[in-house]
Amino acid sequence: MRAISLVSVLAALPWLGSSSPTPTEPDRPSKRASLPTVTVSGNAFWQGKDRFYVRGVDYQPGGSSAMQDPLADKTICERDIAQFKKLGINTIRVYITDNSKNHDYCMNSLADAGIYVIIDANNPRYSINRFDPVSSYNSQYLQSVFATIDEFVKYDNTLAFFSGNEVVNDNAASTLSARYVKAVTRDMRQYIGSRGYRKVPVGYSAADVSQTRMQMAQYMNCGSDDERSDFFAFNDYSWCNSNFMTSGWDQKVKNFTGYGLPIFLSEYGCLTNGRDFGEVAALMSKQMTHVYSGGLMYEYAMEENGYGIAKIPGAKSPSVQEVDGFQKFADALAANPAPKGDGGFTSTTHALPCPTKDSEWLVDTDRLPTIPTNAKMYMSNGAGAGPGLDGEGSQSAPESGDDISGGDAEQGSGTVSSSASASSTKSAATSTPTNARSTGRVSMMLTLLAIVLAIATLL
Ligand SMILES: *[C@@H]1O[C@H](CO)[C@@H](O)[C@H](O)[C@H]1NC(C)=O
């Protein structure tokens, strides 16, 4: 979430040396759904066979300090869903949810309104500390993350999970936490696969930091398939009532062309020079749809930083006051519907080379930390009851050695070996080499076992 605005300094460089592309097919949408599930294929999101664009808002009434889950309270979500319908959005992002509470009412009401939800799996109490990633990437944290997946994966209108929010910031030292953010992303994807859940896409929401934006993006899409994200999202406050060129968005489109995964803006909505939300027209235009899949306007609820479009007098007030910006944003969405057709997407996906270390990007290894031993059992047993938002949180949790990472992981360590139900088309299509390798290992072990047994019988 946003405290101050940054102006990006921009230059262009296309992706180099990517490995061979993998064609992917969208999963079939779930039939029971009141809303079809959204899937990822190539560098785009899909609603059945139609391209899906994120046209939404960031939604956290009270901000992060209130630590309030707006999807666990009927009064709150009913009030705001009425406003979402007026805006004509199709997605909200919620930063803080309580994994010990039930979300049936709000999630179903959102689905009835045609609205998907992107859930941040972390919250201020359960998150990676950017300057102490080693001890904050612990089993207590992962238990909370996995419990959040358990709670929201069951809703067809859960669009995606964020594995972290602005963990890496403009302080170069914070780039060392990127390995841990990427490890959590790997663990979440493995958890979803191991539990036999619907393949809800998992990705990271990066801060608006011009000096490491490209490295961060590259890093989240390098390495083995189990280590790569399903999409990438970043926050961008550079529009500032200008245009495609002046904002430098043309350069970013150039830079992200050929990235290999879907991309959307997890926050946009610069306040400088007033706000006509020209971002919407740009995001829905041919200039961007081959690379971007829409974005989320920051933000719905008015807080002290002044980005909101709805003033909420008290946490549980039954109504809100639309402020300047509300109607302008609704008008921008209405004037710029999601384009028909495939938007010029790329049907293949591929990994990128990992970024190299420099004075801004301090990560000097491509290897990720292993999952903490005490968190591994959640893959087979499930995470159990979520800790909710009370309690001491994971950053101050007492730790034994097995609660934190034991060292560097092998590539492929996050591959789903067996799952509670049949795996999806996507994972089957994209992880063939790794699967083939592990299948080979298993059959070799079975052969060895047979030989040992045969010898034992002879003796
Ligand atoms: C494009 O990429 C280059 C190389 O990574 C970087 O220096 C430049 O700042 C990027 N431009 C934008 C607009 O992000």
Domain ranges of the chain: 2-26+429-458, 38-422
Does the C-beta of 2 come closer than 6 Å to ligand 1? no
Asked if pLDDT for residue 305 goes beyond 80, the answer is yes
CB half-sphere exposure, 311, CA atoms < 13 A:
7
Answering whether pTM is above 0.75, one says: yes
Mean pLDDT on 122-150: 96
Q: Which architecture characterizes domain 38-422 according to CATH?
A: Alpha-Beta Barrel (3.20)
10 CA → ligand 1 middle, Å: 6
pLDDT band for 15, please (50, 70, 90 cuts): low
pLDDT for the residue numbered 456: 54
| pLDDT tens column, 262-280 | 999 999 999 999 999 999 9
In the prediction, which pLDDT does 396 show? 81
Distance 448 CA to ligand 1 centre (A): 52
Residue 80 has pLDDT above 70, yes or no: yes
Residue range 11-21: average pLDDT?
Answer: 50
Cα 291 from chain centre: 17
* Residue nearest atom 8 in ligand 1 by C-alpha distance: 11
pLDDT digits (tens, 9 = 90+) for 374-403: 999 999 999 999 999 987 899 888 788 999
Separation of 449 CA from ligand 1 center, angstroms?
A: 54
Task: Give the pLDDT of residue 400.
Answer: 87
Q: Let me know: does 64 contact 54? Beta carbons within 8 Å.
A: no
Q: Is the CB of 11 under 6 A from ligand 1?
A: yes
Residues in contact with 292: Cβ distance below 8 Å, sequence separation at least 6, in sequence order: 253, 256, 263, 264, 265, 283
Half-sphere exposure of 202 (CA within 13 A, CB side): 32
Q: Is 437 left (phi over 0), alpha (psi -120 to 50) or beta?
A: alpha
Place of tokens 């189990």: 226
Is the C-beta atom of 13 inside 6 A of ligand 1? yes
Q: Are 323 and 308 in contact (CB under 8 A)?
A: yes
Q: What is the secondary structure of 394-434 as a DSSP string? A: STT----GGGB--SBPPTTTT-----SSPPPHHHHHHSHHH
Return the closest-CA partner of residue 140 out of 369, 387, 382: 387
List the one residue out of 146, 263, 155 whose CA is nearest residue 203: 263
- CB–CB of 411/224 below 8 Å? yes
Closest ligand 1 atom to the C-alpha of 255?
1
The tens digit of pLDDT for each residue in 352-370 reads: 999 999 999 999 999 999 9
Q: Give the helix/strand (H/E) hosting 66.
A: helix 63-66
